[in-house]
Amino acid sequence: MNIILKTVSKQDHKFLYDLLKERNEKINISHKKMPTFKNHEKFVMSKPYKKWYIIMNEKEKVGSIYLSKFNEIGIFLKKNIRGQGIGQKSLEMIVEKNPEKRYLANINPQNHKSIKFFKNNNFKIIQYTYELIKNK
């Protein structure tokens, strides 16, 4: 395993879109429905995060990891490579490359795998957030 974090570039838009397609909408907190590719490209081009990397294993793109302006870490790996220690190594690398006093991870309470992952990496729960959506 040779993990590298490569800064997201225009050549990564399709990979990031395909990765987004793998997300389970029921346990995702960042979007409720799949955007169009054009909307996805606009989002990526807007540089929404302080740092955003493609996770490379050797020369293969296997996931992405970001650090938001509020030091929130988001990580997503292709389904076929999970459980191999790549997420663990990527988390260590983003923290090492971007030293901060505090990091956060916002996770849907139904996303048990992510909760376990971040707990195993010494993250502690600090709040529950509730949402009210009013009908128009």
For residue 92, being part of any structural domain is answered with yes
pLDDT of residue 1: 84
Q: Across the chain, what does the average pLDDT equal?
A: 92
pLDDT of residue 33: 81
Give pTM, 2 decimals. 0.90
pLDDT in tens, 65-93: 999 999 999 999 999 999 899 999 999 99
Per the structure block, which two tokens stand in for 2?
């040779």
In DSSP notation, 44-109 reads HHT--SSEEEEEEETTEEEEEEEE-TT-BEEEEE-GGGTTSSHHHHHHHHHHHHS--S--B----T
pLDDT of residue 43: 93
Higher pLDDT, 124 or 136: 124
For residue 71, being part of any structural domain is answered with yes
pLDDT at residue 123 greater than cutoff 70: yes
For residue 135, being part of any structural domain is answered with no
Half-sphere exposure of 2 (CA within 13 A, CB side): 3
For residue 133, being part of any structural domain is answered with no
**How many domains would you assign to the chain?**
1
CATH assignment at residue 85: 3.40.630.30
For residue 70, being part of any structural domain is answered with yes
